[in-house]
Amino acid sequence: MKLSALFFLVSITAFGQYTLRQSEAIPLHGQWSFAMDTREVGAARGWYKDSYNVNGLDKVTVPHCFSVDPRYQFYTGTVWYRKSFPWQPQAGKRVILHFDAAYYKSEVWLNNQKVGTHEGGYTPFDFDITDFLKSGDNVLAISINNDTWQTGSIPGAKDNGNANDPFPGWINYGGLIRPVYLTTESEVYLENLKVEAMPDLAKGTAHVRLKARVRNASKQDVTPKLTTVISLENQPLKLIWKTSSSSIAAGQTAILEAEASLKTTEVKLWNLDEPTLYQLQASINGDTLSTNFGIRKVEVQNAQLLLNGQPIRLAGGNRVVDYPGLGSLEPDWLVEKDFRLMKEAGMEFHRLTHYTPSETFYDLADRYGMLIITEPGNWQLTPAQMDNDTIRRKFQQQFREMMERDWNHPSVIAYSVGNEYLSETPSGQRWTKDMMIYGRSLDPTRLYTFASMRLNILPAKPEDEATQYCDFVSTNTYGNHAKVFDHIHALYPDKPILISEWGTRADNAAGEVGQVSHLESVIAEIRKRPYIVGASWWSYNDYQSRHVGTAANGYRPWGLVGPERNQRPLYAAHRREMSPVTLEKVSYQAGGQGQHQLVIRVKARNDFPAYAIKKYVLKTDGNTVVIPDLQPGQSMEIKVPVRGFEKNITLEILKPTGFSVVTETFELK
């Protein structure tokens, strides 16, 4: 899949715009024909053929989630989408058909011929359709089946036959849920770029290595020359590149590599509050591909998580892709709304969810600073399933597709190989070890973990549970917190701990007030334990589900916000507790002629969350004061002039990226 530093917004529906990776992409959005195939007869009856009469089909707008379309709501099974589009073939050009995601199993036809199939509901896939196209009108047809209530899909049903086992924790929203588009390429073209940028923190320099995947779709061997340019703030850097060259046989794919070193003056590290992005452009024989990347170093050491050599402790949240009337559609406005709400709630370090959300969220995380663990779909697979070769291959396919989409995002610091499987069993141990080996073979630059629920049963020895293979601990813990945290630390004293899930529902016995008190009591325990580096609340938002224990209205109300993002009292409490800075009134002195002075103390938290504060701004009455840089535990006093006869004053602290981190109102007396 091609990645572009310049994003292209396409207006598609009343729901808003979607970001495409390439400005030259040809969107296949808008109106499509649609039908449910309840008896699975579509393929046999030729619903994909250009001669088939489409007058009996409905009209829908793609991207489309049929699970929330009132005409097809709650349907599970096979559906068909059809669209005609004009085309004039160009000599020496290849045409690639892209799907950013389609849930879950897809079969694609073009002009009466089957192009290919794909399984997996949240990762991108594409087909070279050059040889299927014709001059004039072309008919594209896709059948999609969202029945992931079976034991062989990922996500899918467990295989032990117990009640409610077919249903994962979220809805199997079906359809062409993300953009569909065409790109045209040269016969020899760049398929993907992988940028590995590693700083030398002691010297202040950096080394950049590029791996470019090149496809030779021509009928002769070629030896393409790779040209690479890196820009910072739209200014190309003058770098000396060492580039590999090799012959690529006709019809084959190869990896070309290039590497260069950056001087101290050329290095600006990416971090949470100064998320500097570089642009890399690679070219071969006139074909060009671009991507953003950041230079940063993430490592674990002595039970700490280090970003660019500095220890950090951060709050986070799990975001479920779900919105009323949209299902799993993620138009840009919704992604941006969620990102802002999460950022201003103090959510900076996430294992977002059990599958791959829209790439737009990662783009925002890169641009504004946020740390993400990304995870493909092993949600509670059973031991027999984890030992099944077919399921393993399917998981590895989804894992690879996720990696190849996301591996240039500096916000992605780790990969998870699953959630809440029986990690103390031999099968769970094998799965963890094998999938991490597989992941590192593709991307050795990230950390690796998985979300364990089995550490809560207090295993006796480190080797009793698969966390032994992780770079850091991820634990889903919903009770007995202090005892569990201390036991995990005793098992793995050198590994930092992320609480990958914790929380309580708004419909518990104590209601929304109980959510707030639970947050306050558990965070007090977290602050006592410096080896806990993150705590990601389950969940940022309420979501629909068929899983056992879902409320009668169809929702699981774990969220800081409700289904339509209405804020619960928990939101304000999380924002207050998870701000990296605090504001405290020191004194107030009234003066003559309405000239008064408030003295406030700004302090960088030293417990949780905790990280260095740089270039933050204090805002009051339309004026701003830049706060000097503060290390965790440091504080300073600021004098705020007050004019007039107000009884109260509201002060706000903003990150250098513009996001609000704390707002306090002080009484003037």
Beta bridge partners of 282: 228, 289
- Please spell the DSSP secondary structure of 124-186, one letter per residue: -EEEE-GGG--SEEEEEEEEEE----STTSSS---SS--TTTT--SS----B--S-EEEEEEE
Average pLDDT value for the chain: 94
**Whether pLDDT at 515 is above 70:** yes
Q: pLDDT by residue (tens digit) across 590-635?
A: 877 667 889 999 999 999 999 999 999 999 877 889 999 999 999 9
**Whether pLDDT at 12 is above 60:** no
**Whether pLDDT at 450 is above 70:** yes
Per CATH, 26-183 and 188-296 having the same topology is answered no
The model carries a pTM of 0.95
**Whether pLDDT at 488 is above 50:** yes
* Percent of the chain with pLDDT strictly greater than 70: 97
DSSP code, position 644: S
Q: pLDDT by residue (tens digit) across 126-143?
A: 999 999 999 999 999 999
pLDDT grade, residue 7 (50/70/90)?
Answer: very low
| pLDDT of 621 | 78
| pLDDT of 378 | 87
Q: Are 267 and 200 in contact (CB under 8 A)?
A: no
| pLDDT of 209 | 98
What secondary structure, in 3-state letters, does 18-52 show? EEECCCCCEECCEEEEEEEECCCCCCCCCCCCCCC
| pLDDT of 533 | 98
Fold classified for 310-578:
TIM Barrel (3.20.20)
- One-letter amino acid at 458 equals L
What secondary structure, in 3-state letters, does 492-544 show? CCCCCEEEEEECCCCCCCCHHHHHHHHHHHHHHHHHCCCCEEEEEEECCECEE
Angle between helices 389-406 and 426-442 (to 10 degrees): 40
Mean pLDDT on 522-548: 97
DSSP code, position 457: G
CA dihedral sign of residues 610, 616, 618, 619: negative
| pLDDT of 595 | 77
| pLDDT of 594 | 65
pLDDT grade, residue 1 (50/70/90)?
Answer: very low
Report the top-level CATH class of 581-667.
Answer: mainly beta
| pLDDT of 11 | 46
Give the residue extent of every domain in the chain. 26-183, 188-296, 310-578, 581-667
Q: pLDDT by residue (tens digit) across 217-233?
A: 999 999 999 999 999 99
**Tokens 């009668």, residue?**
552
Q: Are 316 and 347 in contact (CB under 8 A)?
A: yes
* Percent of the chain with pLDDT strictly greater than 90: 89
| pLDDT of 15 | 56
More confident call, 647 vs 185: 185
Cis peptide before 155 (omega within 30 of 0): yes
| pLDDT of 669 | 83
What secondary structure, in 3-state letters, does 554-617 show? CEECCCCECCCCCECHHHHHHHHHCCCEEEEEEEEECCHHHEEEEEEEEEECCCCCECCECCCE
Cis peptide before 563 (omega within 30 of 0): no
What would the two tokens of residue 542 be? 């309420």
CA dihedral sign of residues 304, 474, 357, 322: negative
| pLDDT of 644 | 72
What would the two tokens of residue 299 be? 């490592």
DSSP code, position 629: P
What would the two tokens of residue 182 be? 């065409």
Q: Are 605 and 575 in contact (CB under 8 A)?
A: no
Q: pLDDT by residue (tens digit) across 42-88?
A: 999 999 999 999 999 999 999 999 999 999 998 999 999 999 999 99
pLDDT grade, residue 6 (50/70/90)?
Answer: very low
Indicate the CATH number of 188-296 among 3.40.50.2000, 2.102.10.10, 3.40.50.2300, 2.60.40.10. Answer: 2.60.40.10
| pLDDT of 164 | 85
| pLDDT of 593 | 65
Indicate the CATH number of 26-183 among 3.40.1410.10, 3.30.830.10, 2.60.120.260, 3.30.1110.20. Answer: 2.60.120.260
Q: Are 207 and 277 in contact (CB under 8 A)?
A: no
| pLDDT of 434 | 98
Q: pLDDT by residue (tens digit) across 159-205?
A: 998 988 888 899 999 999 999 999 999 999 999 999 999 999 999 99
**Whether pLDDT at 279 is above 50:** yes
**Whether pLDDT at 250 is above 70:** yes
Mean pLDDT on 640-650: 83
DSSP code, position 11: E
What would the two tokens of residue 415 be? 């990969």
For residue 232, what are the contacts with CB-CB under 8 A and spacing of at least 6?
Answer: 266, 268, 276, 278, 279
Mean pLDDT on 236-260: 96
| pLDDT of 3 | 36
Q: pLDDT by residue (tens digit) across 374-391?
A: 999 889 999 999 999 999
**Tokens 């794909």, residue?**
118
DSSP code, position 88: -
Q: pLDDT by residue (tens digit) across 306-328?
A: 999 999 999 999 999 999 999 99
From CA 122, how far away is CA 155, in angstroms rounded?
10
